[in-house]
Amino acid sequence: MAQTEAMPAIEQPRIGKPGDPCTMVIFGASGDLTRRKLIPALYNLAKNELLSREFAVIGIARAPMSTEEYRKKVSEDIKQFATDKVDPDIWEWFIRRLNYLSGDMGDKGLYPRLKDLLDKVDQDHSTHGNHMYYLATAADFFGPTVEHLAEVGLMQQDAQRWRRVVIEKPFGHDLESARLLNQQLLRVAEEKQIYRIDHYLGKETVQNILALRFANGIFEPIWNRRYIDHIQISVAETVGVEKRGGYYDKAGALRDMVPNHIMQLISLSAMEPPVSFRADAVRDEQGKILHAIQPMSSEDVLIRTVRGQYGEGMVGGERVPAYRSEPGVPEDSKTETFVAMKLLIDNWRWADVPFYLRTGKHLPSRSTSIVIQFRRAPFVLFRDTPVENLMPNQLVLNIQPEEGISLRFAAKVPGPAMRLGAVNMNFEYTDYFGAIPSTGYERLLHDCMIGDATLFQRADMVEAGWCVVSPVLDVWRALPARNFPNYAAGTWGPKEAEDLLERDGRHWRDFEK
């Protein structure tokens, strides 16, 4: 029996229980996601004593390398991508648990070799036969890889050992492909073995939506159509498509962001209180919201959706090229880089409360937020005063780059006259709780190790998200945009996005102010 080596002692207190003993198999071990996010996240877990002492990693990629060569490569990468100073003792403990296997994921011969290596690693590090397979690969490999794992018995679990597979987005490119992928996976695995990861749910503020709503008696009683006028969800990026033009042109902003990230934010913001924080209890309520989103007719799509594509412009003081001039993008591309939509939820809590969402590339500032705008107070008391209008209260959940919560309310300006000014009460996580170095993947990887699927999408949630965007995709495919590019890089998208709210007498929140 292998000796269990103690993890080096650290000064800070542990902030949770360690994950189960397991071997994490990373398909795509030489890719950007692994070196920028996964390895630094695993190191952070080790530093916080959230990895089991009986833990190991097997990296799989095509590049011919020995385990020692791979360890050297990863040791160089961590210097660049670590979120905090690397403790040499903890890193040495971690790197001795790192193994490498060269092979092509499409080659069935890879999987018997993987099985043999897993047996050896289990003996060396006492990982109890628990396996977590992380598919940091192109989406085309998701289904076939899980099938190949099942063919050699590597998906088979019992009461003594578990087998889980983590799948990155995209979960299909439309409703039909999402259903086919789910069917392919569920033929060889149980739903409880499949962890569809969305790194946005690793953000503290996203997780804090549930705490804010259900742990505070002042918010939930007013979290409904009687008090809330509308909700805005913005996912703004200052970057363009960078070197991903070939991939992005096949996806576009709608597919890339709305069925996954934004639908998760909507469901957490709008869901009913779950009976508990168990994974399926939370996801049941999220699923109900996604199924309650009012389906759009073709006419609705034309009125309630906006698409845009950036032209050249100025971002961060630098001139950037138009989308059609990016590498890998056709000169006449009709792919959208900006989306705005108005959604309605058909249930008792949210009837007639619009949910406005927008996301885009090369916008003026990087910001992900949820804005809860409350109804205005009655003006009757202020008719004989200099006050001309009442500013509505806003509760803003800032998800990135600074994670925090802001509440805007009115207060009297000092002086003899009745004048009102807007006051913001701001809470930032780093001010109150200190900064915890994070890639955003730590919580999600740890949850997978302990079997908590709360922050992972279920098959029905994935399909419900695609049901919302499918009518939009159909109309946009039938009626290609004729006015692209229609917004300059460094602006907040096409004018039609402003018109979408102005027709309802509303405005987008100005994050630059």
Tens of pLDDT, residues 104-117: 999 999 999 999 99
Residue 2 has pLDDT above 80, yes or no: no
Residue 12 has pLDDT above 70, yes or no: no
Residues 282-308 pLDDT 10s: 999 999 999 999 999 999 999 999 999
Q: Please give the Cα distance from 404 to 163 (Å, whole number).
A: 36
> For residue 13, what pLDDT band results from cuts at 50, 70 and 90?
very low
User: pLDDT exceeding 70 applies to what percent of the chain?
Assistant: 93
DSSP 36-84: IIIHHHHHHHHHTT-S-SSEEEEEEESS---HHHHHHHHHHHHHHH-SS
361 contacts 241 by C-beta, under 8 angstroms: yes
Residue 9 has pLDDT above 50, yes or no: no
What pLDDT, on a 0 to 100 scale, did the predictor assign at position 427?
Answer: 85
Q: Please give the Cα distance from 463 to 176 (Å, whole number).
A: 9
Which of 3.90.180.10, 3.40.605.10, 3.30.360.10, 3.30.70.2660 is the CATH number of 201-374+459-502? Answer: 3.30.360.10
What's the average model confidence in pLDDT over 421-430?
80
DSSP state of 170: P
Q: Please give the Cα distance from 270 to 284 (Å, whole number).
A: 13
Higher pLDDT, 483 or 511: 483
For residue 234, what are the CA distances in angstroms to 219, 246, 357, 382, 429? 21, 25, 6, 33, 20
> Which residue in 131, 261, 362, 446 is the catalytic one?
261
User: Residue 157: what residue type?
Assistant: Q
Q: Please give the Cα distance from 323 to 312 (Å, whole number).
A: 7
Both tokens of 174, joined, read 């439309």
Measured N-to-C along each axis, helices 175-188 and 142-151 cross at an angle, to the nearest 10 degrees, of: 10
Q: Is 128 one of the catalytic residues? A: no
What pLDDT, on a 0 to 100 scale, did the predictor assign at position 194?
Answer: 96
What's the average model confidence in pLDDT over 14-28?
87
Determine the topology of domain 22-168 in CATH. Rossmann fold (3.40.50)
Report the chain's mean pLDDT, rounded to a whole number.
89
What pLDDT, on a 0 to 100 scale, did the predictor assign at position 408?
Answer: 82
What pLDDT, on a 0 to 100 scale, did the predictor assign at position 381?
Answer: 62
Residues 212-267 pLDDT 10s: 889 889 999 999 999 999 999 999 999 998 878 888 998 899 999 999 889 999 99
Q: Please give the Cα distance from 275 to 285 (Å, whole number).
A: 9
What pLDDT, on a 0 to 100 scale, did the predictor assign at position 10?
Answer: 45
362 contacts 326 by C-beta, under 8 angstroms: no
> For residue 433, what pLDDT band results from cuts at 50, 70 and 90?
confident
Same fold across 22-168 and 201-374+459-502: no
462 contacts 173 by C-beta, under 8 angstroms: no
What's the average model confidence in pLDDT over 264-284?
92
What pLDDT, on a 0 to 100 scale, did the predictor assign at position 417?
Answer: 72
Residues 435-447 pLDDT 10s: 676 888 998 999 9
Domain boundaries, the chain: 22-168, 201-374+459-502
Q: Which of 37-41, 213-217, 328-332, 385-389 is predicted with the least confidence, judged by mean pLDDT?
A: 385-389
